[in-house]
Each structure stands twice: as C-alpha cells, then as structure tokens.
C-alpha cells in the first residue's frame, strides 16, 4: 500500500545542509495501523508531508497503491491526494467561519456529488455522536470534539490512506482514547492508518511501531 524507498529531505540550517529525513525506507500494508514515534524535531511531520505530496523529497521514491507519487506533477499530486488520502493535521485545523458540516465536506466541494457527500458527512457525525453539532461553528466545540471532526473530514472521500499527525496532542486521556479507538476502527475497516505521536501510552492500539531519531527511522 505505502512503500517508501531511500527518502531524504534536505534543508539548509546555519548555511549547512541538514537532513530533516535521512534515507528512510519502510513498507506499510493495506489496513495496517502504524505509529511513528519520536520527539519533536525528529522529522515525523516532514516525512508525513512528503508522503502526502505536500513536500518534495530531495531524493527517494514514494509509492502509494502502486502509484509513484514522487513522479507526479503538483496538480496530479493534488488530485491523487484528494481521491486517495485523508490528512489529520496537528492541532486545530478546522476553519472557524464555516460550520462543522461545511468543514467536513470541504475536501469534496469540488465534486459533482456534493449532496451525497453531505449525507455521508451527517452519517459519520451520527456515528460518533456529534450530529447535533452539524450546524455549529468550531468555536462552540471542545478540543476533543474538534479533533474527532477533523478525523471525520479526513474520511469524507473514502480514502485508502489516513495520515494523522499527533492527533492526541493536548487532549485529556478520555478524548485521546476516543481518538485512538476511532483510528483503530478505521484501520480495521481496511483503510491504512499512519499515525505520528510522542505519547507512548497509546501504542497498544496500533499494529506496528517505527521509531524516528534525527531523521532516521527504525522498526521498534
């Protein structure tokens, strides 16, 4: 499903080359729930952004569902990402001037099946017990509710892959467990889930753990 080969991303720091991600190779299977652990600054977000096609690698290749992402144009990557991937960004990523329902449907608004997506969004909200907030604004939701809505938004286009960057950060244990249960259920349904975290207490939910240290990754 996801195959990363010798992936490197260089930046310039203090006038010198710096590898945020260095020669990373990994393979993730369909429906697998994988966690990448590591301290802040270890390269997790840069790796996620490359897998999502938002950052171009300095070298290496990324294959997702037998398509080589690194060989696509920016427009092709955008189309592929919208059709195949859901990205749960770190922190609060909802748009405050849009309702919860409109936030969830945002990735689908360019589709001709807009109404079908709205029906799906309402059904997903119902599944997590937040259907009463469909017409509310993010400012009226708690941090845990916002994070759950963000995951629902990532699911709206029936993605093959979900990337979740620190989805439990700044949440209390109860809401963190709700988030991890949601992601675990998503992976059991056949969607590949790739999670980054530094909170080791939630690793019991995942199938595979990789550890990232200074841009290097290893099976843990």
Read off the pLDDT of residues 123-159 as tens digits, 9 standing for 90 and up: 989 988 899 999 999 999 998 899 999 999 998 888 9
Q: How far apart are CA 148 and CA 65, in angstroms?
A: 26
Give the ranges where the chain is alpha helix by DSSP (H): 44-51, 74-84, 100-105, 114-127, 143-155, 173-188
The number of beta carbons lying within 10 Å of the beta carbon of residue 24 is: 25
Share of the chain above pLDDT 70, in %: 96
Report the CATH number at residue 166: 3.40.50.300
- The mean per-residue pLDDT over the stretch 5-34 comes to 93
Whether the pLDDT of residue 213 is over 60: the answer is yes
Whether the pLDDT of residue 16 is over 80: the answer is yes
Q: How far apart are CA 199 and CA 179, in angstroms?
A: 13
Is-contact 205 31, C-beta < 8 A? no
Q: Domain range holding 153?
A: 2-219
> How many domains, in total, are found in the chain?
1
pTM higher than the cut 0.85? yes
Query: Could you tell me which residues come within 8 angstroms of residue 4 by beta carbon, excluding any fewer than 6 positions away?
Result: 24, 25, 26, 27, 51, 60, 61, 62, 63
- The mean per-residue pLDDT over the stretch 151-174 comes to 91
Q: How far apart are CA 71 and CA 20, in angstroms?
A: 21
Write out pLDDT tens, residues 85-122: 999 988 778 999 999 999 998 887 765 555 678 888 99
Q: DSSP string covering 30-88, please?
A: TT-EEEEE--TTSSHHHHHHHHTTSS--SEEEEEETTEEGGGS-HHHHHHHHHHHEEEE
């Amino acid at each position: 499903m996801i195959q990363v080969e010798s992936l490197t991303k260089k930046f310039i720091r203090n006038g010198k080359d710096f590898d945020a991600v260095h020669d990373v190779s990994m393979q993730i299977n369909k429906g697998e729930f994988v966690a990448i652990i590591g301290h802040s600054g270890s390269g997790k977000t840069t790796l996620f952004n490359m897998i999502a096609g938002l950052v171009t690698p300095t070298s290496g290749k990324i294959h997702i569902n037998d398509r080589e992402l690194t060989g696509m144009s920016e427009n092709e990557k955008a189309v592929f990402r919208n059709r195949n991937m859901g990205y749960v960004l770190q922190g609060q990523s909802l748009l405050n001037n849009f309702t919860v329902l409109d936030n969830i449907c945002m990735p689908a608004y360019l589709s001709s099946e807009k109404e079908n997506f709205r029906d799906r969004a309402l059904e997903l909200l119902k599944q997590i017990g937040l259907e009463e907030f469909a017409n509310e604004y993010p400012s009226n939701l708690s941090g845990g509710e916002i994070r759950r809505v963000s995951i629902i938004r990532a699911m709206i286009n029936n993605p093959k892959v979900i990337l979740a960057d620190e989805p439990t950060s700044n949440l209390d244990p109860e809401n963190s467990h709700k988030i991890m249960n949601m992601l675990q259920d998503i992976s059991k349904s056949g969607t590949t889930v790739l999670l980054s975290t530094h909170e080791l207490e939630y690793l019991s939910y995942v199938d595979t753990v990789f550890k990232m240290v200074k841009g290097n990754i290893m099976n843990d």
